[in-house]
């Protein structure tokens, strides 16, 4: 009999297993790289990329829009069409999000006030490319930026494959820089060579990318801390153990640091899923990566929906999949997750590969305060005030004067008083 590959833990152990969004060891490494690139520009970024294996010595660093279009045209038609269809789904969802946030105008005494939602001018979009090319991340980030109205969009991805370059063309990127890791994030943040200093940096990555985004967040906007992948599957006896096993392995094969977790309502179901994971792993081409990630994962047997929800809420996972006969019964109890997948048909892989919602999601418990990437990450809310009738504003000017006196700010009080009639 195949032995289970997920360790079994109890619900009361979950608090000790919650990961930190930023790994301290990665932070120390990333800090040195970020500072070198900040002071040395693109030459320093290239040197780091060469040292860390992103680039061969003298290798091509900058890919223009024409380079990306050539890559797209060089793909088989079936792959071109695949990228185009996926881009359309992502763009449709992002445009619907953008339409949900409009400008506001509100009457106030003597005039009006409001806000306008305005896109940032430039965005840097990171797409991992270490073990596997991830053109889907290029589409998810760059298309969303364009849907928000960003005028300048750059992509960074190490060792870009033709399909990654093609995705940049489909997304309408202004260029791609063939660098990864902390050096790519620093270059997008501070600029260098053809790459502008971007206003916002988005995209998933490994622990060093996440650490670098944390470090540059004092200078630029970031979407979230999106590190190694996480998936929690909550399964009851109606779920197919083989299907659940493949869902867990789909996340495990992303990265040796990924975290696959099973939450089950009975021990026998957990045993069946764990054995199915072990069986599937034997013939999986990505078994080396997935097997390493399984060591980070675990299974939890819970006694009630409340206990299942408590486990999930404590983990605040990137992906939360409810492989349940009636997922709607558990949903109201769940408060913290990056993306929720309801029912056995709503597999997480559909989220990864562009059914609509974005796959760039918070990890390490950051879902307690952050959501997934959306057009809102590329927008600024700018407020405005116009007073046309100062006499009609006398009451609020009087209140402003009184509050300024209360705080001891004499010039504030004077600025309000001198406008009163």
Active-site residue, from 319, 348, 359, 401: 319
Q: Is 369 a member of any domain?
A: no
Are residues 142 and 171 in contact, defined by beta-carbon separation less than 8 angstroms? yes
Own/partner pairs for 283-289, CB < 8 Å, 24+ apart?
A: 284/249, 284/253, 286/253, 289/131, 289/252, 289/253, 289/254, 289/255, 289/256
Are residues 170 and 139 in contact, defined by beta-carbon separation less than 8 angstroms? yes
CATH number, domain of 56, equals 3.40.50.1980
Place 228 in a pLDDT band, splitting at 50, 70 and 90: confident
Q: Is 96 a member of any domain?
A: yes
Question: Rounded mean pLDDT of 87-114?
Answer: 97
Q: What is the pLDDT of residues 13-41, one digit of tens each?
A: 998 888 888 999 999 999 999 999 999 99
Task: Say what percent of the chain tops pLDDT 70.
Answer: 99
Query: Is the same domain home to 237 and 275?
Result: yes
- Model pLDDT, residue 202: 97
pLDDT surpassing 90 at residue 3:
no
- Model pLDDT, residue 134: 87
How far apart, in whole angstroms, are the C-alpha atoms of residue 205 and residue 211?
A: 10
Give the count of domains, the chain.
3
pTM metric for this prediction:
0.92
Place 4 in a pLDDT band, splitting at 50, 70 and 90: low
Query: Is the same domain home to 45 and 190?
Result: yes
Task: Identify which of 282, 46, 8 has the alpha carbon closest to the alpha carbon of residue 184.
Answer: 46
State the greatest distance between any 2 C-alpha atoms of the chain, in Å, as a whole number. 89
Q: Is 382 a member of any domain?
A: no
Question: Rounded mean pLDDT of 168-177?
Answer: 98
Query: Is the same domain home to 246 and 311?
Result: yes
Query: Is the same domain home to 192 and 293?
Result: no
How far apart, in whole angstroms, are the C-alpha atoms of residue 255 and residue 139?
A: 20
Pick from 21-25, 131-135, 200-204: least confident: 131-135
Query: Is the same domain home to 54 and 159?
Result: yes
Are residues 39 and 192 in contact, defined by beta-carbon separation less than 8 angstroms? no
Q: Is residue 254 annotated as part of the catalytic site, yes or no?
A: no
Q: Is residue 48 annotated as part of the catalytic site, yes or no?
A: no
**Which residues constitute the domain of residue 413?**
389-417
Question: Rounded mean pLDDT of 41-54?
Answer: 95
Mean pLDDT, the chain, rounded, equals: 95
Query: Is the same domain home to 206 and 71?
Result: yes
Q: What is the pLDDT of residues 284-326, one digit of tens each?
A: 999 999 999 999 999 999 999 999 999 999 999 999 999 999 9
Query: Is the same domain home to 35 and 85?
Result: yes
How far apart, in whole angstroms, are the C-alpha atoms of residue 198 and residue 311?
A: 38
- Model pLDDT, residue 118: 97
Q: Is 1 a member of any domain?
A: no
Higher pLDDT, 242 or 134: 242
Query: Is the same domain home to 166 and 287?
Result: no
Query: Is the same domain home to 161 and 280?
Result: no
Domain boundary among 207, 224, 241: 224
Place 265 in a pLDDT band, splitting at 50, 70 and 90: very high
Q: Is 383 a member of any domain?
A: no
Query: Is the same domain home to 216 and 233?
Result: no
- Model pLDDT, residue 1: 39
Are residues 8 and 284 in contact, defined by beta-carbon separation less than 8 angstroms? no
Task: Say what percent of the chain tops pLDDT 90.
Answer: 90
Query: Is the same domain home to 266 and 146?
Result: no
Active-site residue, from 48, 230, 253, 318: 318
Residue 374 CA, distance from chain mean position:
9
Domain boundary among 155, 190, 224: 224
How far apart, in whole angstroms, are the C-alpha atoms of residue 200 and residue 121?
A: 9
């Amino acid at each position: 009999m195949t032995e289970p590959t997920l360790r079994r833990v109890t619900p009361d152990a979950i608090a000790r297993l919650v990961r930190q969004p930023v790994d301290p060891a990665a932070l120390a490494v990333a800090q040195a790289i970020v500072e070198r690139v900040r002071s040395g520009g693109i030459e320093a970024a290239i040197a780091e990329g060469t040292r860390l294996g992103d680039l061969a010595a003298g290798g091509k660093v900058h890919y223009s829009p024409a380079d990306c279009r050539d890559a797209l045209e060089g793909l088989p038609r079936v792959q071109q069409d695949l990228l185009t269809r996926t881009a359309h789904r992502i763009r449709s969802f992002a445009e619907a999000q953008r339409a949900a946030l409009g400008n506001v105008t509100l009457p106030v005494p003597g005039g009006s006030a409001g806000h306008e939602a305005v896109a940032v001018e430039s965005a840097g979009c990171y797409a991992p490319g270490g073990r596997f090319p991830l053109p889907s991340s290029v589409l998810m980030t760059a298309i969303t930026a364009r849907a928000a109205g960003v005028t300048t969009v750059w992509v960074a991805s190490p060792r870009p494959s033709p399909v990654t370059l093609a995705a940049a063309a489909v997304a309408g990127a202004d260029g791609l820089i063939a660098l990864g890791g902390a050096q790519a994030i620093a270059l997008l943040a501070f600029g260098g060579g053809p790459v502008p200093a971007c206003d916002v940096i988005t995209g998933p990555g490994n622990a060093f990318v996440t650490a670098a985004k944390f470090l540059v967040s004092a200078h630029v906007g970031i979407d979230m801390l999106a590190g190694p992948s996480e998936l929690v599957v909550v399964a009851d006896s109606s779920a197919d153990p083989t299907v659940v096993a493949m869902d867990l392995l789909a996340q495990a094969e992303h990265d040796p640091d990924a975290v696959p977790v099973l939450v089950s309502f009975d021990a026998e179901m957990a045993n069946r899923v764990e054995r199915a994971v072990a069986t599937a792993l034997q013939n999986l081409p990505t078994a080396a990566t997935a097997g390493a990630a399984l060591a980070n994962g675990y299974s939890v047997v819970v006694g009630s929906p409340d206990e299942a929800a408590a486990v999930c809420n404590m983990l605040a996972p990137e992906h939360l999949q409810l492989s349940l006969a009636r997922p709607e019964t558990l949903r109201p109890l769940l408060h913290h997750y990056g993306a929720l997948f309801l029912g056995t048909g709503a597999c997480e892989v559909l989220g990864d590969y562009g059914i609509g919602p974005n796959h760039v999601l918070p990890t390490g418990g950051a879902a307690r305060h952050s959501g997934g990437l959306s057009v809102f990450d590329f927008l600024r809310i700018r407020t405005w005030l116009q007073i046309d009738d100062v006499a009609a504003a006398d009451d609020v000017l009087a209140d402003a004067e009184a509050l300024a006196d209360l705080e001891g700010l004499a010039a504030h009080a004077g600025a309000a008083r001198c406008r009163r009639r």
